[in-house]
């Protein structure tokens, strides 16, 4: 998986009116507030927001009464789809988790209508897509689970310039004691979070099993490292 981003201090794209020159910087947070998006409520009757990133910058509604002077431009852009005019709506380019009510996830949440209230509530709707639970942007997801040992290379996000390391080869296992039986549901690593400022790496493994109707038989849950697991 590879992800790149162009980073600038409010650089004016071609097609805009003359803008202030970009200011040099040493540090900039890689947040959605720095990506394309935002809310434009300059027209009291027709407020509009970028549903894919309502907290960003550079967005103008089709009926906007906001002038271009002082309009902040996105600092984070996809090099393949830069913002070139105020009429464009490029996909926001960010690295943080996506809230569930933004369109990349909200469109997968299913239909909550009268039929759902009568027939399914409190269960999820039948057209609910489990990809709704994925908080990473689509271009930052692996095709499968993390196996351990995968090479990681981050460029331009640390004072050293390059951060390079392999993911640790850990294999937790989960043991569930239900009645007289022991069950070992698969435990898979599906989340990798990197804090480049603190040099902190967090990995999340998940295991799930159905105990509906068997809760009284649940004695204990044990989590341990599988034999042979190690940190690379």
Check whether residue 220 and residue 151 sit in a common domain: yes
Check whether residue 77 and residue 108 sit in a common domain: no
**How many domains does the chain fold into?**
3
pLDDT tens digits, one per residue of 38-47 = 999 999 999 9
Number of alpha carbons in the 13 Å side-chain half-sphere of residue 116: 12
Give yes or no for a contact between 118 and 49, defined as CB atoms under 8 angstroms apart.
Answer: no
Helices (H), 28-120: 103-106, 114-119
Q: Return the structure tokens found at 153.
A: 């290379």
Check whether residue 9 and residue 44 sit in a common domain: yes
What lies within 8 Å, CB to CB, of 42 at 6+ separation is 61, 64, 65, 66
Check whether residue 166 and residue 112 sit in a common domain: no
Q: Return the structure tokens found at 35.
A: 């990506």
Percent of the chain residues topping a pLDDT of 70: 89
Q: Which domain holds residue 58?
A: 1-96
Check whether residue 211 and residue 137 sit in a common domain: no
The pTM score is 0.80
Check whether residue 163 and residue 215 sit in a common domain: yes
Tell me, what's the pLDDT at 163?
A: 92
Q: Which of 78, 110, 141 is the last residue of a domain?
A: 141
Tell me, what's the pLDDT at 92?
A: 95
**Where in the chain does DSSP place strands (E)?**
6-7, 36-37, 39-40, 48-49, 57-58, 76-77, 151-155, 162-166, 172-178, 181-183, 188-195, 200-206, 218-225
Tell me, what's the pLDDT at 3?
A: 62
pLDDT tens digits, one per residue of 108-139 = 999 999 999 999 999 999 999 999 999 999 99
Check whether residue 65 and residue 137 sit in a common domain: no
DSSP string, 121-153: TTSPPTT--GGGG--S-GGG--SS-B-S--EEE
Residue 93 binned pLDDT confidence (cut-offs 50, 70, 90): very high
Residue 232 binned pLDDT confidence (cut-offs 50, 70, 90): very low
67-82: string of b/e by CB count within 10 Å (b at 16+)? eeeebebbbbbbeeeb
């Amino acid at each position: 998986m590879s992800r790149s981003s162009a980073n600038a201090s409010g650089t004016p794209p071609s097609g805009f009116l003359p803008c202030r020159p970009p200011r040099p910087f040493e540090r900039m947070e890689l947040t959605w507030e720095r990506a394309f998006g935002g809310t434009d409520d300059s027209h009291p009757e027709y407020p509009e927001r970028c549903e894919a990133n309502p907290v960003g910058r550079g967005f103008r509604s089709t009926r906007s009464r906001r002038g271009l002077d002082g309009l902040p431009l996105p600092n984070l852009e996809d090099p393949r789809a830069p913002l070139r005019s105020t009429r464009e709506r490029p996909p926001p380019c960010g690295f943080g988790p996506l809230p569930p009510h933004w369109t990349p996830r909200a469109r997968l949440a299913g239909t909550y209508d009268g039929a759902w209230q009568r027939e399914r509530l409190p269960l999820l709707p039948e057209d609910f897509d489990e990809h709704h639970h994925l908080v990473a942007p689509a271009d930052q997801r692996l095709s499968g689970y993390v196996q351990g040992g995968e090479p990681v290379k981050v460029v331009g996000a640390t004072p050293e310039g390059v951060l390079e390391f392999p993911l640790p080869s850990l294999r937790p296992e989960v043991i569930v004691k239900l009645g007289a039986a022991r069950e070992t549901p698969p435990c898979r690593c599906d989340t990798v979070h990197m804090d480049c400022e603190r040099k902190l790496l967090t990995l999340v493994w998940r295991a799930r099993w159905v105990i509906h109707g068997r809760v009284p038989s649940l004695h204990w849950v044990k989590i341990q490292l599988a034999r042979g697991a190690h940190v690379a």
